[in-house]
Homo-oligomer: A and B are copies of this chain.
Amino acid sequence: MPSTTTFLDELFDKGLLIDTGVDGLYGRSGLFEEIGDRFQALVTRYGAEDEPEVVRFPPAMSRQVFEKSGYMKSFPQLAGTVHCFCGSPADHVSLLQTIEAKGDWTEGQKASEIVLTPAACYPLYPTAAKRGQLPADGLLFDLMSYCFRHEPSKDPARQQMFRMREFVRMGTPDQVTEFRAKWLERGQALIGELGLPLKLDVANDPFFGRTGKMLAVNQRDQRLKFELLIAIESEENPTACLSFNYHQDHFGKTFELESSDGEVAHTACVGFGHERVILALLKHHGTDVKTWPQSVRKALWG
């Protein structure tokens, strides 16, 4: 393989990812999916003793909930709204003429009541709040969903549509910080078992604009976000494969989540970048799974 070939080219060549003509939007082979399924089973085993409630949302969510979440305030550049054709047969004729003439036919599309899910946990908060006050020991959920972020890139670890596994804890500050501390340990043990070199670091979300810079500094200063980084596309800039987030009362306030003590609930989550961990395995152990270290094969296939 010549050194000018990128990792993405290699993944296309081996058929592990499939080019769709759009950067960051790829098909996956059966082998890619099989590695991912085994990784998810390992994550489930690490979290099993906590007995999380499994919930799965589709890859789109209510626009009303999305607006309430404040996502457009912090990350407008990453969001995707879903738009539809609501016209008459006459409008349809003119739409087809525009497509035929290679014009912009999308201008007439109207925003629907849904948007693409930006992180697996967003649809959860309002549905959890509907159950009423949290029980004394809080709540713990196990989520997974395709997510969308509009950041076209040739880095295979930065996809526009990717899957995120998440555990979300809701409760008192003590309950949720204890949860995060436990997963900081577990996450390192889990990635260690997969034979991947990792680095843990304080991090910040990609807040938009000048106000965003201040939010990012504040988030780092308060150590609200940690990331477990693994080198995939670059040694110098390793990729966040797991993230450990303490939201304080942000979602509790926004969605009126109440702890059993009557206070605004705090929340925290641990997120696993599904494709990123698969890519880290392929990068560090090679694209031929049969030659992976025995210990890694055992962790995944038992």
Let me know if A152 and B113 touch, CB within 8 A. Answer: yes
Q: Which residues of B contact A29 (CB under 8 A)?
A: 54-55
Flag if B76 contacts A27 (CB, 8 Å): no
Q: By DSSP majority rule, is chain A's interface helix, strand, loop, or mixed?
A: mixed
Question: Which of B27, B99, B116 is the one whose CB lies under 8 Å from A123?
Answer: B27
A123 contacts which chain B residues (CB < 8 A)?
Answer: 20, 27
Give complex CA distance A183, B84 in Å: 34
Specify the chain B residue showing the minimal Cβ separation from A28. Answer: B56
For window 92-107 of A, CB contacts with B under 8 Å fall at 92, 95-96, 99, 104-107
- The answer to whether the Cβ of A58 comes within 8 Å of any Cβ in the partner chain is yes
Does A59 make an interface contact (CB < 8 A)? yes
List the B side residues contacting A55 at CB < 8 Å.
18, 27-30
**Segment of A62-70, A132-140, A255-263, A282-290 in the binding face:** A62-70
Decide: A25 and B59 in contact? CB cutoff 8 A.
no
Q: Could you name 14 residue pairs across A and B whose Cβ atoms are closer than 8 Å? A: A18-B127, A20-B57, A20-B65, A20-B126, A21-B62, A25-B61, A58-B162, A72-B105, A77-B84, A80-B84, A92-B208, A104-B111, A109-B111, A112-B150
Nearest CB of B to A214, in Å: 13
Complex contact A146–B148 (CB within 8 A): no
Query: When chains A and B are docked, how far (Å) is the Cα of A152 from the Cα of B19?
Result: 32
**Chain B residue with the shortest CB-CB distance to A23:** B113
A128 and chain B: residue at smallest CB distance: B18
Instruction: Say yes or no for A210: interface residue by CB 8 A criterion.
Output: yes
Known: A58-B25, A111-B106, A127-B27. A83 touches B85 (CB 8 A): no
